[in-house]
Structure 1
Amino acid sequence: MTASPAPFTPLPPLARTVRGSGPGLLLAHGAGGSVHDNWGPLLDDLAAHRTVVAPDYPGSGDSPDEPGAAHSLDELADRLLAAADAEGLADFDLVGYSLGAAVAVRIATRHPGRVRSLLLLAGVAGGSRRLRLLADQTIALAAHPALLAGHSLAVGFGPSWVEALSEEEFAGLRAAMAAAPVPAGLRWQFDLAGRADVRAELARVAVPTLVVSATEDGLVPPEQHRALARGIPGARLAELTAGHLPVVERLPELRDLLLGFLADPAAEPATTGRI
């Protein structure tokens, strides 16, 4: 007698932020972040031009953790697409940050008819031993918030920005980071960021693409960003002198790049090159 297959249990919908009106814009955040952490300062500007749908991964923001789940790029891609479906987006522009860049590439290659354009910020391409080591270090430090804060300051922010802080600003930032709760999903998200690899599928991306590289990124090496730009046919590269958090360090310039690209994805960005 053959055992019956286990019943299929659909994955729960991800919590999501929805703002604005007009053409759809789907946002994919980074490992250990959330919609608020990674996109918060940009949401009002983006929502002035687009219907923004921004889901939180399990264990981030308002999405509960899912202990024991084996998360993958395919799963995240499909769950973000489900969020877009639930909000009535037939197609959309797609912006991915850090791990979210790999998720965005997977969406664009698994569901090519849905994506109008692609912007990848400080993104993971894959195949980096250094990124794997940094992800492992972050996971190991998750149980030690003060040490994790110091590690994140050292690799997450650009040296130019950090060294320009006053002693009071630096101490306040470090204290705030040490006091912040560690997201429940940080471990699996950094594990996925360290082993994700979308290099083999980049050639199948067939939409206008802008890759924004953070040239002082100590967490996702800039060579990862450049690999995305090299691998995607016709992709353009813009560089920001910043660490892994341009939304903190170079917000006005990042806003201009995003809004300019969304206004005309086929146009050469005014800030192509290093700024």
Structure 2
Amino acid sequence: MTSSDRPEIGRSVQANGIRTNYLEAGSGAETVMLIHGSGPGVSAYGNWRLVLPALAENFRVIAPDMVGFGYSDRPQDVDYQLDTWADQAVGVLDALGVEKAHLVGNSFGGAIALRVATKHPDRVGKLVLMGSVGVPFEITEGLDAVWGYEPSVENMKKILGYFTYESGAVDDELARSRYQGSIQPGFQEAFSAMFPAPRQRWVDAMTIPEAELRQLQHRTLIVHGREDQVIPLANSYALERILPNADLTVFGKCGHWSMIERNADFNRQVRDFILEA
């Protein structure tokens, strides 16, 4: 999949003009694309390291670093907006010769997956949305803090505390490690440029019109942690109501990181959902 010394760095392709780092595993007949969330120092590897090898048992799995995150390029003139990320995702599929993929989107990545599906419905198989944005909501204290992160170990520990249900899951070592990841050259500069205050406008900018969502006929699995402090559980109830072919799973004693905090359950549900005829 990747080199053992730098597992977060995989191969790269030109995707809609952006050199894009991506991880790949598996060789199944069907392709799954994993689209990560937003946050300081985030990358495809950081989001999906426990999911990618599990899904690779049944599928070809691709996990790109979206522009502005991870180890993809950060062009000076890039316009950080929903269509930019959606077009990059489609560009990755084009570059890898993938006609259709199932999309799994985490948080910010859920809105990207929905945007790809509304713009290119024939390129998308099934959808999995985890703690997703894409519908209107009032920005939470947690999301405002995540998007407003200023680099320090203390701030990183506070940010990680919003993501998890168990406060003890975030120790000083994890906070220091994630802090070091967030201050690699160019990382924080790009991240801080994406979501400057006031940040409600960026929530609104990642909202997809309800009329467009109602047109989506794709089978959709919606997953949310009941104790999510970053994206409100109400978002997933709204998506389940709006999307014509959606089912909703709510994990108890779980925050924003369902794919980590309830990893075995998440992997099993996603695999079974995609395999189901």
TM-score (norm 1): 0.82
1:34 correspondence with 2:43 = yes
How many Å apart are 1:213 and its aligned residue? Answer: 1.1
Aligned pairs, number: 248
Return the match for 1:11 from 14, 17, 20: 17
Retained in 2: the 8 A contact 1:138–1:148?
no
Retained in 1: the 8 A contact 2:104–2:113?
yes
> Which whole-Å deviations, capped at 9, do the CAs of 1:85-133 have from their partners, x for residues lacking one?
11111111111110000000011110011111111011112322224x6
Counterpart secondary structure, 1:48: coil
How many Å apart are 1:64 and its aligned residue? Answer: 2.3
Structure 1 counterpart of 2:112: 103
Alignment root-mean-square deviation, CA = 2.2
Q: Distance in 1 between matches of 2:46 and 2:194?
A: 15
Based on CA coordinates, which of the two structures has the bigger radius of gyration?
1
Q: Distance in 1 between matches of 2:61 and 2:72?
A: 17
Residue correspondence of structure 1 range 1-275 to structure 2 within 5 A:
11-21=17-27, 22-32=29-39, 33-131=42-140, 134-142=142-150, 144-158=151-165, 161-163=166-168, 170-182=171-183, 183-184=187-188, 185-190=190-195, 194-195=203-204, 196-200=206-210, 201-241=212-252, 242-264=254-276
Q: Distance in 2 between matches of 1:218 and 1:107?
A: 26
How many Å apart are 1:46 and its aligned residue? Answer: 1.3
> CA 1:215–1:172 in 2, change beyond 3 Å: closer, same or farther?
same
Structure 1 counterpart of 2:4: none
Q: Distance in 1 between matches of 2:164 and 2:95?
A: 35
How many Å apart are 1:17 and its aligned residue? Answer: 1.5
Counterpart secondary structure, 1:37: helix
How many Å apart are 1:68 and its aligned residue? Answer: 4.2
> CA 1:151–1:106 in 2, change beyond 3 Å: closer, same or farther?
same
Retained in 1: the 8 A contact 2:20–2:67?
yes
How many Å apart are 1:50 and its aligned residue? Answer: 1.3
> CA 1:110–1:209 in 2, change beyond 3 Å: closer, same or farther?
same
Gap runs ≥5 in structure 2: 1-15
Retained in 1: the 8 A contact 2:107–2:132?
yes
Q: Distance in 2 between matches of 1:211 and 1:95?
A: 10
Counterpart secondary structure, 1:155: helix
| Aligned sequence identity (%) | 27
How many Å apart are 1:230 and its aligned residue? Answer: 1.4
Q: Which moved more, 1:187-196 or 1:252-261?
A: 187-196
How many Å apart are 1:199 and its aligned residue? Answer: 4.4
Q: Distance in 2 between matches of 1:112 and 1:75?
A: 17
Q: What letter corresponds to residue 219 of structure 1 in structure 2? A: V
Counterpart secondary structure, 1:128: coil
Retained in 2: the 8 A contact 1:98–1:124?
yes
How many Å apart are 1:231 and its aligned residue? Answer: 1.1
